[in-house]
Homo-oligomer: A and B are copies of this chain.
Amino acid sequence: MQRVACLVSYDGTNFSGYQVQPRKRTVQLELERALTKLHKGQEIKVTSSGRTDAGVHAIGQVIHFDTSLQIPLERWPNAFNACLPNDIHIHEVRSVEPQFHARFDTVGKEYRYRMLLKKQGDVFRRHYTHTIERDINMERMKCAAQYLVGTHDFSSFCAANTDVTDKVREVTAIELWKDRDEVIFSFKGSGFLYNMVRIMVGTLLEVGYGNLSSEGVAQILAAQDRTKASKTAPAQGLYLWKVDYPNLVFHHNKNNES
């Protein structure tokens, strides 16, 4: 038995999120279905770094599973991809220690959010960006974002329907930049609460519009109350970009850095 870890990307558009749910098409379902096929019917369970919501995309999701197949590692991606639908792609498969755990071993994650700055509809990016039809002030958003960096109780930025009780998380960096006709947000941290990135984006957007001051963001954070923050930004702009582990670096991720 060999434990392997995979770097996976998926287009979240046609999935009801990552995690298996009855009668829904999910990423986990497709991954496990493909692996069970590769293993001649033997049921294979997959563990990911964490779930993603319906419509949310992944560039650098990480999963692990155990296999008894004698496939050379370099052949694994092609074999696995051949059994997967076109909206999931395995970039790299690595051998890991038997105690490696895709969820518990994460030491950091990066999410990105893409906003399209256009007044007109872009039919090609409707599933991949959130369209902003008004002017936004980048400098105000950059300033406000700094209030969210650090170790804080992020209760104001967590969906109400969660079981998690400890809402203290460390956000290590928030950056935003223009990329042609898009604004890209990058959020790096030790971990994120349910909907946390999308609520931070929604709130920073209000700052960008001029409806909220930078200091207002600090007050929302201090209130520890979800009702004080702004609307959750739509799922289709969000990407799980990168997951960090102490002893595992995917080569493909390195190529991806820009």
Contact = CB atoms under 8 A, between A and B. Distances in A.
A10 B86 contact: no
Interface stretch (A123-131, A140-148, A150-158, A213-221): A123-131
A230 B9 CA distance: 33
A91 to B, nearest CB: 5
Copies of this protein chain in the complex: 2
A88 interface: yes
A121 B89 CA distance: 6
- Interface size band for A: 10 to 19
24 contacts: A9-B121, A9-B122, A9-B123, A9-B124, A10-B123, A11-B123, A11-B124, A11-B126, A57-B124, A81-B121, A86-B121, A86-B123, A86-B126, A87-B123, A87-B126, A88-B123, A89-B120, A89-B121, A89-B122, A89-B123, A91-B120, A91-B121, A120-B252, A124-B128
Sorted nearest first, the 4 A-B pairs with minimum C-beta distance are A89-B121, A11-B123, A89-B123, A9-B123
